[in-house]
Amino acid sequence: MRLLLIEDEKALGNALRDYLLAQGHATDWVENITDVDAAMASTPYDVVLLDLNLPDGHGVDLLRGLRRRGDVTPCIILTAQDQITDRIQGLNAGADDYLVKPFDLGELHARLSAVARRYAGNPNPLLSIGNVDIDLARRVIFVAGLRVDLTAREWALLDQFARRPGATLSKPQLEEALYEFGAEIESNTVEVYISRLRKKIGSNLISTLRGVGYRLEG
């Protein structure tokens, strides 16, 4: 997934970004409301992770503004504000989930995945295609009953396909999933990782539609 993290606490922001990258999610991090518009104008995000107490405003006001202008990007609030009134306010402003700091990173990832699945129209984290079984919640994959290990970038690509089985994804869409992994995206990066995935999960699972993109066959 491509994530936008809005968090002004540097130590926490660094820790969250590193963790999410390690889980296979390209993550952009901004520290204030001012930078949010520019980030969201240039990039289609799958989920926004939003702190409430930001140096130039309140996260709830930001979220209300996004919803008023029709932005429906899923949002999870991450905050130390733990009163029930705070939770109600955040959810009523348009948040999809609310997680109180300090929180377990595993729980954050589980909630993040659940929200993304709901928006993709497929709340079931289990996907079976032929002899390939994918568990998006636990991030494990089995081919003919044997577990196959994927790198973070391979998972990032597979995640895009698994959330939209049968849909054709363009090369730019797949590049977005790889963008924040610490290296420049070369012209053949997508082709390289598609080739690696095919070697690990089967050459016939991902089809190439020349001039259009790629598709995970159902």
The sheet that has 75-79: what strands, in order across it?
A: 26-30, 2-6, 47-50, 75-79, 97-100
**pLDDT tens per residue, range 5-29:** 999 999 999 999 999 988 888 899 9
Torsion of CA 201, 202, 204, 205, to 10 degrees: -10
pLDDT of amino acid 174: 87
The SS3 call for residue 5 is: strand
Is the per-residue pLDDT at 106 higher than 80?
Answer: yes
Nearest to 214 by CA among 184, 193, 200, 187: 193
Phi–psi pair at 123, nearest 5 degrees: -70, -10
**pLDDT tens per residue, range 55-86:** 999 999 999 999 998 888 999 999 998 899 99
Q: CB of 59 within 8 A of CB of 89?
A: no
Question: Is the peptide bond prior to 102 cis by the omega test (within 30 degrees of 0)?
Answer: yes
Is the per-residue pLDDT at 218 higher than 70?
Answer: no
**pLDDT tens per residue, range 174-199:** 887 776 655 566 778 889 999 999 99
Looking at per-residue pLDDT, the higher value among 113 and 164 belongs to 113
- Whether pTM exceeds 0.75: no
**pLDDT tens per residue, range 120-140:** 666 667 788 888 998 877 788
User: Average pLDDT in the 135-163 region?
Assistant: 87
What domains lie within the chain, and their CATH numbers? 2-119 (3.40.50.2300), 126-216 (1.10.10.10)
